Amino acid sequence: MTSRGTAARRRVSTASATVMAALTLGACVPGDHRGQSGDPSQPPPGSRAGAGPTANTDPLAECPASGVRIRSTGGDAAMGLRALGLELVNCGAHPYQLDGYPVLHVFDEAREPVMLRVVNGAKEITSGFDQPPRQVTLAAGERATAVVLWRNLVTDSTVVATNGEFLTVAPAAGQPAEEVDPDGPIDLGNTGRIGVSAWKKADPSTPVPTRPAPPPAPSAVPSSVSPPDSRL
């Protein structure tokens, strides 16, 4: 065999090895990992499957078929009282009417419904959110707000505390619900209830909030509790 023929065969062998390596690397490109840890395959009921934003997509760019978009504006916690702001935007081209309370559904980490009682007006949870509902008409681009409230309170050590991980909100009964970010666990303790205020039209001049207004400060310390002795 001549040296020229040997060199040619070596070039062919090297090219074949390069092609095989490229094919092997191509087979290792990550595919669809839905169902693995950290990426649940089933969204909570009421959410829009496949509607999550991509890296090049504005999450507020698309308007649902309902003509409104619901999101949370962040949570606040004080003295065991939790408050989560809600915002509804009329992203459609026609006026949208509201007259009542948001409809809430809470789900656990396994995306199973959490059995609880929704208190309209939240009067059993705290004061300051009991204004009755009024008819609200939102023109295109206008907003309405509400607040979800609960207490992380354990009153009976024999009852297991409840934690929700997912939250869906509908504008009213019978309307499509959207999944919103609860900004942390919905730690209900063993109260078995969650409250929500009525929809209220947002002032157009008010900037879009990033967090809800803090809940009212707790009332004074009950008289049955003695203040600490300053001499200690």
pLDDT of residue 205: 66
Tokens for 118, please give them: 């929704």
Choose among 82, 115, 120: nearest CA to 102.
Answer: 120
Residue 107 pairs in a beta bridge with 113, 166
The predicted pLDDT at position 213 comes to: 47
- The residue written with tokens 């310390």 in the block is 221
Q: How far apart are CA 56 and CA 143, in angstroms?
A: 25
Domain boundary assignment for the chain: 73-201
Per-10-residue mean pLDDT, the chain, length 232: 47 41 35 30 43 37 90 87 96 96 96 94 84 94 96 86 94 96 93 94 69 43 37 42
CA distances from 191 to 110, 118, 155, 156, 161 (A): 21, 11, 8, 9, 8
Q: Which fold has domain 73-201?
A: Immunoglobulin-like (2.60.40)
Please compute Rg for the chain using Cα positions: 27
pTM, rounded to two decimals: 0.64
Q: Output the CA–CA distances (angstroms, integers) from residue 121 to 127, 162, 229, in the order listed.
A: 9, 21, 39
* pLDDT computed for residue 143 by the predictor: 97
What is residue 94's predicted lDDT score, i.e. its pLDDT? 95
